[in-house]
């Protein structure tokens, strides 16, 4: 049985009213709606009057009926102003809209309180499923309790909670990557250079580490495992500096600029937890008159278009594909599994997409 067009239209009308308010107030939202259905009716949504339990039941019923046929999906992104998450968001939008869903994206503006409100609004609007990129991993317990309470099938992306945190709700899945793998690959990119990162031949690899947001497991693991790959290969390492750049290009530039001024030629390797910071670091490296792959190495993660160009031009030693398209496809697949009634046992709620090393040799394959 299909969800009646009328119910969809009612829900959409309600969503659009809230959307317009939200837009007027915060400008933090992006909505898609199918033009030919949105004007059908303006009845009061049933969800306004139903109690929480009835609503959960009603939603559960709607879910099966609306899969792939115009269901309403709420997507919360930690902040729109993030290069990688913009690529990811665009991929999600294309896939979801291509499948006929009505999708609303909310910009959390890097503010967990704001994102909590957005999640609550989506629940009040009666969305069929949520896709959430949490602002803070530490907020996972609260987010999971909220969606569980409302009975909304939810896919978490990009910021991975622990298996224990997810285990409390069986209509919850995490789709992402195992960040240890990307860190290890960054280390391998350095080990693959002619002098294994030891440019000055003193038997040690001296590096600076430009970290993402240290609260984020991706930042923690990439920082740890990039260096671990070097030491596992028997190399001695010297950490000249480690600073948080919060995934941000300007901060990457500033940190690299200061470190280059302070440590000069001692720096042999610049590790960046993501490409946006690496692009910033590259600006500082070039301004300091240094030449990547000759007197300094530079690696990032993500394979943003800008980074692929720099790898191709020899201005970055390499990067690691953080597969936004693959993760977006995985997230939508997981969401549809949940909508179809599938549940996930504790300990089996993380779905990983592989990272891939990108070097000048294979960069053309990623463009």
Decide: is 218 part of the binding site for ligand BGC (CB under 6 A): yes
Cβ atoms within 10 Å, residue 176? 21
Residue from 8, 11, 72, 85 binding ligand BGC (CB under 6 A): 85
Decide: is 128 part of the binding site for ligand BGC (CB under 6 A): no
Alpha-carbon distance 258 to 143, whole Å?
Answer: 38
- The window from 80-88, 97-105, 255-263, 345-353 that contacts ligand BGC (CB under 6 A) reads 80-88
Q: Write the DSSP assignment of 122-154 as a string of letters.
A: HHHHT-SEEEE--S-GGGHHHHHHHHHHHT--E
Nearer of residues 82 and 198 to ligand BGC, judged by Cβ = 82
- The window from 79-87, 100-108, 334-342, 350-358 that contacts ligand BGC (CB under 6 A) reads 79-87
Give the SS3 label for residue 177: coil
Decide: is 221 part of the binding site for ligand BGC (CB under 6 A): no
CB of 222 to ligand BGC, least distance (A): 8
Locate 133 and state its tokens. Answer: 């990129």
β partners of residue 210? 243, 272
Answer whether 213's CB lies under 8 Å from 243's CB. no
Answer whether 338's CB lies under 8 Å from 330's CB. no
CB of 283 to ligand BGC, least distance (A): 17
CB of 170 to ligand BGC, least distance (A): 25
Answer whether 102's CB lies under 8 Å from 73's CB. yes
# of chain residues touching ligand BGC (CB under 6 A)? 13
CB of 322 to ligand BGC, least distance (A): 5
Give the SS3 label for residue 363: helix
Cβ atoms within 10 Å, residue 340? 12
β partners of residue 297? 269
Nearer of residues 80 and 263 to ligand BGC, judged by Cβ = 80
Task: Write the binding mask 242 to 281 for ligand BGC: x where contact by CB under 6 A, - elsewhere.
Answer: -----x--------------------------x-x-----
CB of 177 to ligand BGC, least distance (A): 7
Owner of token pair 């020899």? 314
Q: Which positions from 140 through 159 interact with ligand BGC, judged by CB under 6 A? A: 158-159
CB of 217 to ligand BGC, least distance (A): 9
Alpha-carbon distance 155 to 135, whole Å?
Answer: 14
Answer whether 153's CB lies under 8 Å from 129's CB. yes
Decide: is 84 part of the binding site for ligand BGC (CB under 6 A): yes
CB of 159 to ligand BGC, least distance (A): 6
- The window from 4-12, 61-69, 77-85, 92-100 that contacts ligand BGC (CB under 6 A) reads 77-85
Decide: is 302 part of the binding site for ligand BGC (CB under 6 A): yes
- Non-local (6+) Cβ contacts of 17 within 8 A are none
CB of 143 to ligand BGC, least distance (A): 15
Alpha-carbon distance 332 to 123, whole Å?
Answer: 19
Residue from 146, 226, 322, 349 binding ligand BGC (CB under 6 A): 322
Answer whether 257's CB lies under 8 Å from 229's CB. no
Decide: is 82 part of the binding site for ligand BGC (CB under 6 A): yes
Residues that bind ligand BGC in the complex, under the rule CB under 6 A: 82, 84-85, 158-159, 216, 218, 247, 274, 276, 301-302, 322
């Amino acid at each position: 049985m299909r969800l009646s067009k009328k119910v969809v239209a009612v829900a959409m009308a309600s969503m659009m009213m809230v959307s317009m308010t939200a837009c007027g107030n915060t400008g933090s939202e992006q909505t898609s709606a199918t033009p030919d259905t949105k004007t059908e009716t303006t009845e009061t949504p049933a969800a306004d009057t139903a109690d929480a339990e009835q609503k959960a039941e009603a939603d559960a019923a709607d879910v099966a009926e609306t899969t792939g046929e115009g269901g309403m999906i709420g997507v919360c992104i930690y902040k729109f102003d993030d290069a990688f998450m913009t690529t990811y968001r665009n991929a999600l939008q294309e896939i979801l809209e291509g499948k006929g869903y009505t999708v609303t994206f909310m910009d959390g503006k890097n503010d967990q309180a704001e994102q909590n409100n957005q999640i609550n609004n989506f629940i009040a609007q009666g969305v069929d499923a949520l896709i959430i990129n949490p602002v803070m991993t530490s907020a996972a317990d609260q987010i999971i309790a909220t969606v569980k309470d409302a009975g909304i099938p939810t896919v978490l992306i990009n910021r991975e909670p622990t298996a224990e945190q997810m285990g409390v709700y069986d209509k919850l899945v995490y789709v992402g990557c195992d960040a240890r793998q990307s860190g290890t690959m960054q280390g391998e990119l350095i080990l693959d250079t002619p002098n294994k990162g030891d440019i000055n031949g003193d038997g040690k690899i001296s590096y600076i580490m430009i970290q993402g947001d240290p609260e984020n497991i991706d930042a923690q693991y990439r920082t740890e495992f990039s260096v671990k790959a070097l030491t596992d290969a028997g190399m001695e390492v010297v950490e000249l500096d480690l600073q948080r750049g919060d995934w941000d290009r300007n901060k990457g530039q500033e940190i690299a600029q200061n470190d280059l001024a302070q440590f000069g030629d001692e720096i042999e390797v610049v590790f960046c937890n993501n490409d946006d910071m690496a692009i910033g670091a590259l600006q500082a490296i070039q301004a300091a008159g240094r030449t990547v792959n000759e007197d300094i190495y530079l690696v990032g993660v993500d394979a943003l278009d800008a980074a692929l160009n720099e790898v191709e031009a020899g201005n970055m030693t390499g990067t690691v594909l953080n597969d936004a398209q693959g993760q977006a496809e995985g997230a939508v697949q997981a969401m549809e599994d949940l909508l179809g009634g599938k549940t996930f046992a504790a300990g089996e709620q993380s779905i990983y997409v592989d990272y891939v090393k990108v070097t000048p040799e294979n960069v053309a394959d990623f463009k």
